[in-house]
Amino acid sequence: MEIWINPACSKCRSAISLLDAEGADYTVRRYLEDVPSEDEIRAVLERLGLEPWDITRTQEAVATELGLKEWARDAGTRDRWIAALASHPGLIQRPIITADDGTAVVGRTEDAVREALSR
């Protein structure tokens, strides 16, 4: 299992605490430093069963600068969204936990983290 985190994020710290409390075997990826490639983002999206706009933090300043709220959310703009996430990893929702069964969850709640643990 791998967890993409920003150490400054309270939701990430909570997820790590729960994983530790449950004795989970996981790897931490500080995705702001070890930025995922476009292909890695595509793979995680597939595992999540989500689209790039579903994991985009649209309230961030860079999202406003890019005008993300006005971008279309369809197959024709999917690659543009993925490129934006790869170029500006701070836009990626966190934490993302890739489970051992090949799925993934956005672990913003205790229930979501427990879901990843159960897989």
pLDDT band at 92 (very low <50, low <70, confident <90, very high): very high
Strand order of the sheet with strand 96-98?
27-30, 2-5, 96-98, 104-106
Annotated catalytic residue 9: yes
Predicted confidence at residue 119, as pLDDT, reads 83
Active-site choice (1, 2, 9, 42): 9
- Structural contact between residues 95 and 107, judged by C-beta atoms closer than 8 angstroms: yes
Q: What is the pLDDT of residues 18-72, one digit of tens each?
A: 999 999 999 999 999 999 999 999 999 999 999 999 999 999 999 999 999 999 9
Could you tell me which residues come within 8 angstroms of residue 27 by beta carbon, excluding any fewer than 6 positions away?
A: 1, 2, 3
